[in-house]
Amino acid sequence: MKNQLLDSALSLLEDQHFDSLAVGVIDFKNQKFENFEISATNVVSEKPYLYFDLASLTKALTNSAVRLKSPEVFDEKSNLLLNHTAGLPSGGLLSKKTWREEILSYDVKLSPTLYSDYSSLRCMLEIEKKSGKKLKELCSYYFDPELVHWMELPENAFSPEYGIRNKQIISGQVHDNNCFNIAEFVSHAGLFATIDGLCRSLINLNQKASMNEQMLNAFKTHKNEDRFVMGFDHVMDPENTLAGKGATTKTFGHLGFTGTSFWINPETNIGAVILTNATQTYWYERSGLTKLRKALGAAIWRM
């Protein structure tokens, strides 16, 4: 990892309203990665140890991972759901007891793209029904030991602070309220990982399901105005993308509400991973996070 990237990260973190950051650069061709982690009080950890709430990265790490490995369990309906073009609303508060019935009550029909937690959950229910298997069994074939569901965090795991719920600091629990209340392995949120664990998992996913090759093939027939490709987000405006200048329209990945992201250029086989606890004090002012994402992404693509 170039010292310049670490220096930039330390400088950018000074202007944030959160205190933890991990950055990884993946070389898929050589199956290796470099990373660093900055914990509270700007301490650069010799060995990254923080378990970050991956938030909506979970969508790509579950449903999309199943699509890559087991395309036979997807039909026209579940592919629409996977790519957020199924007409379901973006989200809302779900009942712990009847959330499945609520999600299954919506009609599925081709619609303009609307990014949706509900669509992700319905996709999960559809592929579980068709396969006869639970999502965790379907998607965890590539998980590193340091990529886990929030209810299975190791006993001594340490997580940054992500805000307040019921007057208690959120740390070691998922930030998403629906995921917290449902308290099951679901597709829209709930995975936690160290920077090491996520980088190793993405390398495993590429090895076991030819992720980068499959995405390159998918882009051959993809219309750029469609935002999602096999459930992965992709760069639509290279000049103004959160992936950072230098990303291309074939760069794919996902964003997470807690300030997480990963982006992969399948043509160069380079990946950029950024993990933060951006919701620590407040979530609604994200200009600092945007600046950090763009600056670090651009620096990685230049490496």
The answer on pLDDT for 41 being more than 80 is: no
Tokens at residue 193, please? 């990982």
Question: Is the whole model's pTM more than 0.95, yes or no?
Answer: yes
- Weakest mean pLDDT among 145-154, 167-176, 214-223: 214-223
* DSSP alpha helix (H) spans, 149-232: 177-182, 195-209, 211-219
Taking only the tens place, the pLDDT of each residue in 228-264 is: 999 999 999 999 999 999 999 999 999 999 999 999 9
The pLDDT, as a whole number, for residue 43 is 75
The pLDDT, as a whole number, for residue 2 is 66
Count of positions (residues) in the chain: 303
The answer on pLDDT for 132 being more than 70 is: yes
Q: Is 154 exposed, middle or buried (0-12, 13-18, 19+ CB in 10 A)?
A: exposed
Domain of 243, CATH number, reads 3.40.710.10
The answer on pLDDT for 283 being more than 90 is: no
For residues 110-129, give the mean pLDDT.
98
CA distance 197 to 144: 6
The pLDDT, as a whole number, for residue 228 is 97
In degrees, to the nearest 5, what angle opens at C-alpha 181 toward C-alphas 177 and 184? 115
Q: Identify whether the C-beta of residue 185 lies closer than 8 Å to the C-beta of residue 259.
A: no
Range of the domain at 91: 3-302
pLDDT averaged over every residue in the chain? 96
Taking only the tens place, the pLDDT of each residue in 59-80 is: 999 999 999 999 999 999 999 9
Taking only the tens place, the pLDDT of each residue in 291-303 is: 999 999 999 999 8
Share of the chain above pLDDT 70, in %: 99
CA distance 200 to 220: 27
The answer on pLDDT for 47 being more than 90 is: no
- Weakest mean pLDDT among 12-26, 31-45, 162-176: 31-45
Q: Identify whether the C-beta of residue 242 lies closer than 8 Å to the C-beta of residue 255.
A: yes
Tokens at residue 56, please? 């909506």
* Backbone φ/ψ region at 262: left (φ over 0), alpha (ψ -120 to 50), beta: beta
Q: What is the total count of domains within the chain?
A: 1
| Residue with token string 């996977």 | 82
Q: Number of H helices and number of E strands within the chain? A: 11, 13
Q: Identify whether the C-beta of residue 54 lies closer than 8 Å to the C-beta of residue 260.
A: yes
The answer on pLDDT for 222 being more than 90 is: no
